[in-house]
Structure 1
Amino acid sequence: MAAQSPEVREPDLTPLADCNACAYRSSLLAQGACKPGDICIMAESGRQIDRFFKLHPALAREYMQDAFWERRAIAARYLPTNLLRPLLADPDEAVRRVLAYRVPLEWLLELINDSDREVRVTVADRLPEAQLELMAGDTDYLVRAYVAKRLPEGRLFRLVADADTEVRRTVAERIPSVSLGLMAEDHEVGIRRIVAQRMEIDDLVMMADDPDWTVRYEVVLRADGELLQRMMEDPDEEVALMARERWQARCVEQVANER
Structure 2
Amino acid sequence: MSAAPADGTTGAIPAIDWQGQPITRARCAACEHAALRAGGGCEPGHSCMQDAYARRIDRFFRSHRALANDHLDHAYFEVRAIAARHADLFHLPPLMSDPDETVRLQVALRVPQRLLRAMRDDPHREVRIRVAHRIALDDLAAMADDPDYQVRAIAAQRLPVAALPRLLDDGDLQVRLQAARRVEMPALWRLQDDPAPEVRRIAAQRLPAAGLCRLAHDPDWTVRWEVAGRADAPLLTGLLHDVEPEVREQAARRLRLAAAGLEAQHG
| Alignment correspondent of 1:136 | 144
Segments of structure 2 that go 5 or more residues without pairing to the other structure are: 1-9, 16-21
Structure 2 distance, partners of 1:245, 1:72, is: 62
Deviation, 1:34, is 3.2
Query: Which amino acid is the alignment partner of residue 14 of structure 2?
Result: L
Structure 1 distance, partners of 2:70, 2:195, is: 55
Structure 1 distance, partners of 2:234, 2:60, is: 74
**CA contact 1:178–1:199 (8 Å) conserved in 2:** no
| Alignment correspondent of 1:13 | 14
Query: Which amino acid is the alignment partner of residue 172 of structure 1?
Result: A
The answer to whether structure 1 residue 100 and structure 2 residue 108 are counterparts is yes
Segments of structure 1 that go 5 or more residues without pairing to the other structure are: 1-8
The answer to whether structure 1 residue 60 and structure 2 residue 68 are counterparts is yes
The answer to whether structure 1 residue 74 and structure 2 residue 82 are counterparts is yes
**1:167-206 counterparts in 2 under 5 A?**
167-206=175-214
Instruction: Spell out, residue by residue over 1:166-218, the C-alpha distance to the aligned partner (whole angstroms, 9 max, x if none).
Output: 22222222111542211112122122111111112343233233122332232
Distance 1:31 1:161, change over 3 A: same
Query: Which amino acid is the alignment partner of residue 215 of structure 1?
Result: V
Instruction: Spell out, residue by residue over 1:54-88, the C-alpha distance to the aligned partner (whole angstroms, 9 max, x if none).
Output: 23222212112221111111111111112111111
Q: TM-score, normalised by structure 1?
A: 0.81
The answer to whether structure 1 residue 50 and structure 2 residue 58 are counterparts is yes
Deviation, 1:253, is 6.1
User: Quick one: which of 120, 131, 156 aligns to 1:148?
Assistant: 156
Distance 1:183 1:36, change over 3 A: same
| Alignment correspondent of 2:31 | 22
Moved over 4 A (4+): 29-32, 225-229, 232-235, 237-259
Distance 1:24 1:185, change over 3 A: same
Query: Which amino acid is the alignment partner of residue 160 of structure 2?
Result: P
Distance 1:50 1:237, change over 3 A: closer
Deviation, 1:132, is 1.6
Identity %: 41
Query: Which amino acid is the alignment partner of residue 10 of structure 1?
Result: G
Question: Structure 1 stretch 129-138 or stretch 78-87: which is displaced more?
Answer: 129-138
Structure 1 distance, partners of 2:192, 2:265, is: 35
Backbone CA RMSD of aligned residues: 2.9
Structure 2 distance, partners of 1:38, 1:104, is: 33
**CA contact 1:232–1:241 (8 Å) conserved in 2:** no
User: Quick one: which of 216, 235, 238 aligns to 1:208?
Assistant: 216
Structure 1 distance, partners of 2:134, 2:81, is: 20
Structure 2 distance, partners of 1:87, 1:220, is: 56
Structure 1 distance, partners of 2:222, 2:48, is: 62
Structure 2 distance, partners of 1:28, 1:249, is: 74
Give the paired residue count.
Answer: 249
